[in-house]
Structure 1
Amino acid sequence: MTVTLREITAENRQAVLGLRVAPGQERFVSSVPDSLAEAAQYPQARPWYRAVYAGEEPVGFVMLSWNVEPQPPEILGPWFLWKLLIDERHQGRGYGQQAVRQVVDLVRAEGATELLTSYVPEEGGPADFYRRLGFTPSGGYDDHGELVVRLVLG
């Protein structure tokens, strides 16, 4: 099924806010409400966020720092995949990979040469997911101890 990235509107807000990761994954990604609160707390990070849809159903959430002036360790960029959440009922279907590919296409069209993200380097975390997509360690960590990885956009 084709994945699309859509704005969060009054019509879909409650469904998007209700998306949840599987039990035990909460330590790797914050909830949608917490992510939106973070976006409001850090306007200087130029948060850009969308609901991830499979067909007509919201299945996830993605948030980036959009072409921002990096202010490490708090704000990474210029292009930083800040949040990626796929609802527990929809994991394992390739929606996360499709969402990241769409993000890559969007930021590449804006002139980005790399996309950064970070993750908690623990068992059960998303390390393999990002490795399969071509992300490689940058050699650094963010201010929360997450490993920063980069995807070079050719």
Structure 2
Amino acid sequence: MSAQIRLAEITDANRDAVVAVRVHPAQERFVASVEKSFQDARANPEANPWFRAVCDGDVPVGFVMLSWNVTPQPGIAGPYFLWRLLVGAEHQGRGYGRAVLDEVVTLLRAEGASELLTSCVPGEGSPEPFYRRYGFVPTGETDEDGEIILRLELASQP
């Protein structure tokens, strides 16, 4: 099954429903909440945060946030960095994560981007296998928090 989603701007009308999206409790150590993502975006405007609600129809099922077209600098990877991707616990296993990445890749290619970076905490339950199945590969680097840096070459993705 291929999930049908849309990436929607976050407004006063949908903000509470988007903030209410939560991953499984066992995944919380691997991905920050939507509220924490908003805090990080406010605290790091130089990272040019771009974020959207992941919606199935009008129902928020997830959240995605990237650093969008930034000059890499200490603490900020780029130019395009997948900062957060989460799918609500009750919506997982339906293809939403892959659908979000498909949408993001389409947008980035339209911007002329050649790669997308992300990072993840290693360990049992980490999203690393999901990212690797999609085509991300480890760069051999880690960030200041010890997260593994992964790269997706956009030219090689279908």
Scaled by the length of structure 1, the TM-score of the pair is 0.97
Partners of 1:56 and 1:49 in 2: CA distance:
17
Counterpart of 1:78 in 2: which secondary structure?
Answer: coil
Partners of 1:143 and 1:61 in 2: CA distance:
24
Deviation at 1:143, TM superposition (A): 1.1
Give ranges in structure 1 of 5+ residues lacking alignment.
Answer: none
Partner of 2:142: 141
Deviation at 1:140, TM superposition (A): 0.6
- How many residues are paired up? 153
State the Cα deviation string for residues 68-99 of structure 1 (Å, max 9, x = none). Answer: 01113x10010000000100010010001100
Deviation at 1:127, TM superposition (A): 1.1
Partner of 1:111: 112
> Is residue 48 of structure 1 aligned with residue 58 of structure 2?
no
Bigger helix fraction? 2
Q: Of residues 7, 32, 35 in structure 1, which corresponds to 2:9?
A: 7
CA RMSD of aligned residues (A): 0.7
Partners of 1:4 and 1:132 in 2: CA distance:
22
State the Cα deviation string for residues 103-142 of structure 1 (Å, max 9, x = none). Answer: 0110111010000000001111111100110000111111
Counterpart of 2:144 in 1: which secondary structure?
Answer: coil
Counterpart of 1:24 in 2: which secondary structure?
Answer: helix
Partner of 2:34: 32
Scaled by the length of structure 2, the TM-score of the pair is 0.95
Deviation at 1:145, TM superposition (A): 0.6
Counterpart of 2:32 in 1: which secondary structure?
Answer: coil
